[in-house]
């Protein structure tokens, strides 16, 4: 996993998080899905997929940052 994270350039990871991670921009989809999750609103399977797709770039940035700080 560390090798994969080191191979992904920072600009690509940040661009993915800022574009795919926040799209659509008013309001950001990831914010809507996280709000639904924390309020306990029933999430349909498509909502879980949406959360995974919009959250993956943010997870990539977080993991890449954590491994960079650990090193």
pTM confidence score: 0.85
Q: Which domain holds residue 58?
A: 2-70
**Would you state the pLDDT for residue 10?**
96
Domain count, the chain: 1
Mean confidence (pLDDT) of the chain: 91
Residues 6+ apart with CB under 8 A from 33: 43, 47, 50, 51, 54, 55
Residue 24: its pLDDT value, please? 87
Confidence of residue 1 (pLDDT cuts 50, 70, 90): confident
Give the tens place of pLDDT for each residue, 33-65. 899 999 988 889 998 998 999 999 999 999 999
């Amino acid at each position: 996993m560390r090798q994969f994270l080191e191979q992904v350039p920072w600009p690509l990871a940040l661009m993915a998080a800022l574009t795919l991670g926040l799209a659509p921009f008013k309001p950001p989809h990831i914010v809507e899905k996280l709000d639904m999750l924390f309020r306990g609103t029933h999430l349909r399977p498509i909502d879980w997929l949406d959360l995974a797709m919009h959250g993956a770039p943010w997870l990539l940035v977080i993991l890449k940052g954590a491994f960079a700080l650990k090193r």
